[in-house]
């Protein structure tokens, strides 16, 4: 399928997630079948000031692409200038964050605060589109308190957004309640550009169901892929009418070994311990003995014993994991 001028292998993409969707997460998602991945949100102001912690978020690894870099900011000028820089960073498209409910993002007027000012949102979109040599998109929520997509989306499309991703919750909802898939269906029925549906896809089956029930062009998966990149391969298999392969502890161990190498290369051993522990916690979720394993792993401050624990834990053959139970929409 075609999206943002790119040929994608499947309609399943990995969500931008601050603190999560770094290079290792994205690479794993891509290998497991995500057709496209997104960076964590990157501050336009930070990029313009060359802040080291912002620049770190723009690093990527071979094998990740297609990669979309997501920017956030509240000033059309800054967002335009940041977009021009972002286009030089080896990515394939730019996305504008119009959905983040975090206070520190909203306070200066960025993220979901833009839903309260559709005119400014469109000005930002236009500035990014004008400055960018790459395709551009917007990731939105339904609105501050109710569905305002009919007012907002035409403005964004007119300003140059070539794809709209809808996390089908209001700002007020945060991450609570249920994502409103009916709203994705409504938007997809009239939106002149492709809509990526997002919210509460926690299984391969649910990913296919969102495609079928809403008519969206693609499905974005966030929390369901944290610690479970294989959700993408299950979605791809389900879409092809095939039974997905079970995820084995050995597969998780192999993924952890890869994460470890990547983490060491990206940030040295100290960084690797912190980093690999996070993935170990995720990958152990739902497996027998996980809470003891987590306690032991939490108390390990050196890489060698941590890895030994991992070896022992992830090689138990009886720890076969079935697909997560389907969530009713």
Ligand X SMILES: Cc1cc2nc3c(=O)[nH]c(=O)nc-3n(C[C@H](O)[C@H](O)[C@H](O)COP(=O)(O)O)c2cc1C
Q: Two tokens at 11? A: 């309609």
- CB closest to ligand X, residue no: 222
Structure tokens at 76: 């059309």
Judged by CB under 6 A, does residue 329 bind ligand X?
A: no
* Candidate residues 35, 36, 94, 100; the one interacting with ligand X per rule CB under 6 A: 100
Tokens representing 27? 């690479």
Burial (0-12, 13-18, 19+ Cβ within 10 Å), 193: middle
**Binding string to ligand X for residues 148 to 187, with x set by CB under 6 A, is what?**
-------------------x--------------------
In the set 10, 58, 70, 162, which binds ligand X (CB under 6 A)? Answer: 70
Q: Which of 23, 33, 99, 227 binds ligand X (CB under 6 A)?
A: 99
Backbone torsions φ then ψ of 217, nearest 5 degrees: -75, -35
- List 10, 43, 60, 97, residue binding ligand X (CB under 6 A): 97
Interface with ligand X (CB under 6 A), residue from 13, 40, 44, 79: 40
Q: Smallest distance, Å, CB 180 to ligand X?
A: 12
In this structure, are residues 81 and 44 in contact, taking their beta carbons and an 8 Å threshold? yes
- Quick one: which of 139, 186, 205, 209 contacts ligand X (CB under 6 A)? 139
Question: Catalytic residue at 100?
Answer: yes
Check binding of 223 to ligand X (CB under 6 A).
yes
For ligand X (CB under 6 A), the number of binding residues is 22
Select 167 or 252, whichever has its Cβ closest to ligand X.
Answer: 167
| Rounded Cα gap, residues 305 and 297, in angstroms | 9
Q: Quick check: 327 binds ligand X (CB under 6 A)?
A: no
**By CB under 6 A, is residue 201 in contact with ligand X?**
yes
Stretch that binds ligand X, among 142-150, 182-190, 199-207, 259-267 (CB under 6 A): 199-207
Beta carbons within 10 angstroms of residue 207's beta carbon = 27
Question: Segment 226-285, which members bind ligand X (CB under 6 A)?
Answer: none
Identity of the residue, 16 or 73, whose beta carbon is nearer to ligand X in the bound complex: 16
Residue 198 zone, left/alpha/beta (φ > 0; ψ -120 to 50; rest): beta
To ligand X, the closest distance from the beta carbon of 111 in angstroms equals 8
Q: Considering only 12-20, 112-120, 283-291, 303-311, which stretch makes contact with ligand X by CB under 6 A?
A: 12-20
Give yes or no for residue 199 binding ligand X (CB under 6 A): yes
Stretch that binds ligand X, among 5-13, 120-128, 221-229, 319-327 (CB under 6 A): 221-229
Active site positions, annotated: 100
Contact set with ligand X (CB under 6 A):
15-20, 40-41, 70, 97, 99-100, 139, 167, 198-201, 221-224
């Amino acid at each position: 399928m075609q999206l943002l001028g790119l040929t994608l292998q499947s309609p399943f993409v990995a969500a931008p997630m601050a603190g999560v969707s770094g290079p290792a997460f994205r690479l794993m998602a891509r290998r497991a079948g995500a057709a496209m991945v997104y960076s964590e949100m990157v501050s336009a102001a930070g990029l313009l000031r060359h802040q080291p912690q912002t620049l770190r978020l723009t690093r990527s690894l071979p094998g990740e692409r297609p990669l979309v870099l997501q920017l956030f900011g509240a000033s059309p000028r800054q967002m335009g200038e940041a977009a021009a820089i972002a286009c030089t960073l080896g990515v394939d498209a730019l996305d504008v964050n119009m959905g983040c409910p975090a206070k520190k993002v909203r306070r200066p007027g960025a993220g979901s605060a833009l839903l309260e000012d559709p005119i400014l949102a469109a000005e930002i979109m236009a500035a990014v589109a004008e400055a960018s040599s790459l395709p551009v998109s917007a990731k939105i929520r339904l609105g501050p308190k109710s569905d305002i997509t009919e007012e907002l989306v035409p403005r964004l499309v007119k300003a140059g957004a070539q794809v709209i991703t809808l996390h089908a919750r209001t700002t007020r909802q945060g991450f609570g309640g249920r994502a409103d898939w009916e709203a994705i269906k409504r938007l997809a029925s009239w939106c002149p550009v492709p809509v990526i549906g997002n919210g509460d896809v926690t299984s391969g089956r649910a990913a296919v169901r969102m495609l079928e029930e809403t008519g969206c062009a693609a499905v974005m998966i966030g929390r369901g892929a944290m610690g479970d990149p294989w959700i993408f391969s299950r979605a791809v298999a389900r879409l092809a009418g095939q039974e997905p392969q079970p995820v084995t502890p050995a597969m998780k161990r192999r993924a952890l070994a890869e994460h470890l190498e990547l983490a060491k290369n990206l940030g040295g051993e100290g960084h690797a311990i912190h980093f690999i522990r996070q993935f170990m916690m995720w990958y152990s979720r739902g497996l027998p003995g996980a809470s003891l394993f987590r306690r032991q792993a939490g108390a390990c401050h050196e890489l060698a014993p941590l890895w030994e624990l991992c070896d022992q834990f992830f090689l138990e053959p009886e720890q076969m994991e079935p697909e997560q139970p389907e969530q009713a929409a």
